[in-house]
Amino acid sequence: MAISEHIRELMSGSSWIRKMFEAGARLKAEHGADKVYDFSLGNPNLAPPERFPQTIRAILDEQVPAKHSYMQNAGYLETRKAVAKTASAEQAVSIGENNIIMTTGAGGAMNIALKAILNPGDTVLVPSPFFMEYRFYADNHGAELVPVPSAAGFEPDITALAAAVDKRTAAVIINSPNNPTGAVYSENAIAELGTMLEKKSRETGRSIYLISDEPYRHIVFDGLTVPPVMKHYRNTIVATSYSKDLSIPGERIGWAAVHPEADGGDELAAGMILANRILGYVNAPALMQRAAARLQGEWVDAEIYRKKRDLLCDGLEKAGYELTRPAGTFYLFLPAPGGDDEAFVEKLQKQLILAVPGRGFGAPGYIRLSFCVADEVINGAMPGFEAALDA
């Protein structure tokens, strides 16, 4: 016996991803990376806004003691104050700096939230399709992720979610704008979800937390805004990051916010701060925290992604694909022609196009295309998309 049996299971369970990435890597090695049209990764291709490197340079030039030292595990006070202001505006409740914890990206925020609330044997519900990492995040802390199929238009199915709640239910995760579907939940759906969770918390005798993972909040199109979540449910924890806002996913900077009236209140925030420390994050990266304090509102221009969405969707529709345009994010989630997602992903690979089969998100029969790529990639891939449809 060498490595952990559980990590071995997890590795074998995600072997299809490895297989897919290996197929992609093989194609790139064979044909040259520039000949392969890679729509498989959620890795923004935009450069960060010019104010980002400017701000980093300004911070480096300043005389500040302990500039790169440890700080409180929750993060710099200055940063948390700036974030609290943004979060208050977005969530339509008054959030103080003590309800903000700076984190190692949204992934860190999700993990400290789950570590602070989960007991062994708990379940965490998520509308399906869902971002595949959630399964691991729940599992990290001894709980099981339970996907609940979404309603039409990929809105959360409140009745189905309500039916899935039992005494083991510790949390519901939502992700709007959604990866992989691009759906943005309506304020109505959020309000209904809040009412349902309020009722179910009373019935089950435990506070069911709503964890709202919002890294795509600022990438929405056609005049849409993302409704506040905390306004509609007290026991909400928001998790987000600057990965997409500033196109800096590799820097691992994000935050968690705890609703000021959440059950457990200060204890919950304290538990999340302890989790930030003991999970080995310790604190969010210092320089990025200092930058974040000064870059609130300096978000990527969503119009750039809107144009890419339309370039891709126009082309695909012209080629004969059936699809619904995403209201936000940089993902298009469309039915796999022929119905078999893996088979169609293989057809696309023959055209040197990389996509992700929907089964990776709990939705076989769909494929996900990330359009955070150069326009040339979208244009260059069109003949291949056409050919795959006819194959």
Query: Could you say which residues in the range 236-265 bind its own copies, by CB under 8 A?
Result: 246-252, 262-264
What is the rounded CA–CA span in Å between residue 97 and residue 149?
Answer: 36
The answer to whether 311 and 375 have CB atoms below 8 angstroms apart is yes
Q: Which amino acid is at 120?
A: P
Residues 6+ apart with CB under 8 A from 26: none
Binds its own copies (CB under 8 A): choice among 20, 37, 40, 48: 48
Asked whether position 287 contacts its own copies by CB under 8 A, the answer is: yes
Binds its own copies (CB under 8 A): choice among 23, 77, 270, 387: 270
Binds its own copies (CB under 8 A): choice among 50, 223, 280, 303: 280
Query: What count of other Cβ atoms lies within 10 Å of the Cβ of residue 314?
Result: 13
Q: How far is the CB of 372 from its own copies (least distance, A)?
A: 10
Residues 6+ apart with CB under 8 A from 200: 162, 165, 169, 208
Query: Could you say which residues in the range 61-80 bind its own copies, by CB under 8 A?
Result: 66-71
Asked whether position 286 contacts its own copies by CB under 8 A, the answer is: yes
Among residues 90 and 251, whose Cβ is nearest to its own copies?
251
Binding string to its own copies for residues 88 to 127, with x set by CB under 8 A, is what? ----------------xx-xx-xx---xxxxxx-------
Size of the site for its own copies (CB under 8 A): 77
Query: Could you say which residues in the range 151-180 bind its own copies, by CB under 8 A?
Result: none
Asked whether position 4 contacts its own copies by CB under 8 A, the answer is: yes
Q: How far is the CB of 152 from its own copies (least distance, A)?
A: 32
Name the helix (H) or strand (E) containing 324.
none
The answer to whether 385 and 353 have CB atoms below 8 angstroms apart is yes
The answer to whether 256 and 239 have CB atoms below 8 angstroms apart is yes
Asked whether position 197 contacts its own copies by CB under 8 A, the answer is: no
Q: Which amino acid is at 210?
A: L
Asked whether position 1 contacts its own copies by CB under 8 A, the answer is: yes
Query: Could you say which residues in the range 298-357 bind its own copies, by CB under 8 A?
Result: none
Residue with tokens 């939230």: 113
Name the helix (H) or strand (E) containing 146.
strand 144-149
